[in-house]
A and B are shown apart, each in its own frame.
Chain A
Amino acid sequence: MRTSLAPRGDSGDYAIVCQSIDKRNTIDEHKFMTAGNGFSLIEIVVALAIMALVLVPVVSLIQHSHHQIADEKAEATVATFASAAFNKALFQQSYVEVVSESGEELIDGTTIRWNLEVAQVSGLRLWYQRVKYHEPCGGGSASGSVELYDTEDSAPSEIDVKYNDGEGVLKTLKLTITWRSYYENFDEDDPRKRLVLATRKARLE
């Protein structure tokens, strides 16, 4: 049975028409399905074209983002590695133990090539100002009560002969790290895959 509504005259009344399905109505129903309920070929073609236009960059973006995530993971690994390397050199190793070395390591899918270069600071001189001894000593050092010598500078070996052993007292450390993620090859010249850190290590023991 099919039901339809249709205005009946100008009175605002509507007629509800209930019809039993006969052959003629079945044909009408079929016409409705093909003309209005489905999608036309042109609609589908246009819709597919729009979807294709959107999906192509989406797919490429997803692939690109996979690489980017791998890059970021690698960079985080490199940052941790670099900090650990300098932490060891500055706070765990003695002054003489810190020497030039290099290596290659695979950490969490990231291949890291590192090179630690160490060199003594040459021509180092230390500046200071001595206080002239005076009597009687006072609790305060108000202007005029304490005299100072002029600023001097000395090489460490001039201050203490134990520093005259050729080891020096201050070293410059340069750590160069290059890395690659799982999907790429090493490119030593790529500045995006190269981290250079520098610091200094003092002879404190």
Chain B
Amino acid sequence: MKNNYVGRINSNLVKANKLKLAGRAGTPRTGMALWVVFCIVIVLSIFLGAFVTNRVEMKQQTKRSFLSLRGQWIAQGAIQHALLKFRILPTESYDASALSRGICPFFVASGAMSGSGSVEMAPLEAFRIDIDTAQFPLSAEFDGLDGYSYTVSEMKALNSFTKDNLRKHVVRIIAQGTYEGSIAGKEMIFTDELTKTVDVSRAVSGP
């Protein structure tokens, strides 16, 4: 049995139906598997690229954290060295701090203090200058520490005040720890900076 129907159809609808039927029935689907695979490969490549980039970045971050660790602890060594000087030389450190604030170290005053001393007179510089591995290198004690160094880049009296019969000067110490060496075949220099604030004090007899 065979029935034929003829009618006028909107041309857009016809195109859509034509494509649909052609896809179901024949030749335009040739090579479809290749296109599917290409799509999968492209998506996989994008994921792969993102993944590799992420891993490389993570690896770099770990390297940086190791460098930071080296710099941080060598700078801690400089802080220890500076604290040692403040501990062993309390009078000299107090006098030096007072002078760097422009205050006569022997003058008894109460409350906040300020002075008019010149920076050139600051013996804190003399106090600071030997806290340096150029003077006392770490490699003198152990092999393999040639690339490790520290220095105190700044020692400055920030504030002065008298409290509970103690005259105090607040001193800021800025230490730099440097690691210079080879990481994964690349020569690198990494410097970390640490800041420590201490106060030096002297008892005063009166208000």
Q: What is the interface of chain A, defined by CB distance below 8 A to chain B?
A: 3-5, 8, 12-20, 32, 35-37, 39-40, 43-44, 46-47, 50-51, 54, 58, 61, 65, 68, 72, 75-76, 79, 82-83, 86, 90, 117, 119-131, 133-134, 137-143, 145-146, 148, 151, 153, 156, 159-160, 163, 169-170, 172-174, 191-192, 195-204
Contacts and interface: CB of A to CB of B under 8 A. Distances in A.
Contacts of B2: 19-20
Nearest to A142: B116
A61 B24 contact: no
B80 A170 contact: yes
Contacts of A198: 70, 73-74, 77, 138, 142, 145, 148
B141 A202 contact: no
Contact of A202 (B69, B80, B102): B80
Contacts of B87: 202-204
B134 interface: no
Interface in B52-97: 52, 55, 58-59, 62, 65-66, 69-70, 73-74, 76-78, 80-81, 83-85, 87-89, 92-93, 95-96
A48 to B, nearest CB: 9
A64 to B, nearest CB: 9
Main DSSP-derived SS at the B contact region: helix
30 contacts: A12-B8, A15-B6, A36-B26, A44-B33, A46-B33, A47-B34, A54-B44, A125-B130, A126-B130, A128-B85, A128-B93, A128-B126, A128-B127, A134-B106, A137-B104, A140-B104, A140-B116, A141-B98, A142-B117, A146-B99, A146-B104, A151-B123, A174-B145, A195-B66, A195-B69, A197-B73, A198-B70, A198-B138, A198-B145, A200-B78
A75 B66 contact: yes
Nearest to B4: A17
Given A20-B1, A127-B129, A146-B104, 12 more contacts: A4-B21, A17-B5, A43-B32, A51-B40, A126-B85, A130-B123, A134-B106, A141-B105, A148-B121, A174-B142, A174-B145, A203-B87
B184 interface: yes
B142 A137 contact: no
Contacts of A174: 138, 141-142, 144-145
Interface residues of B, number: 92
Contacts, number: 258
Interface of B: 1-9, 11, 14, 17-18, 21, 24-34, 36-38, 40-41, 44-45, 48, 51-52, 55, 58-59, 62, 65-66, 69-70, 73-74, 76-78, 80-81, 83-85, 87-89, 92-93, 95-96, 98-99, 102-109, 113, 115-118, 120-121, 123, 126-127, 129-130, 136, 138, 140-142, 144-145, 148, 182, 184
Contacts of B121: 141, 143, 146, 148
B136 A124 contact: yes
B18 A201 contact: no
Contacts of A151: 123, 126
A141 B126 contact: no
Nearest to A134: B106
Nearest to A159: B88
A130 B55 contact: no
Given A50-B37, A58-B44, A153-B130, A14 B30 contact: no
Contacts of B34: 43, 46-47, 50
Nearest to B87: A204
Contacts of A130: 92, 95, 123
Nearest to A141: B117
A29 to B, nearest CB: 9
Contacts of B184: 192
A50 B33 CA distance: 11
Contacts of B89: 126, 128, 159
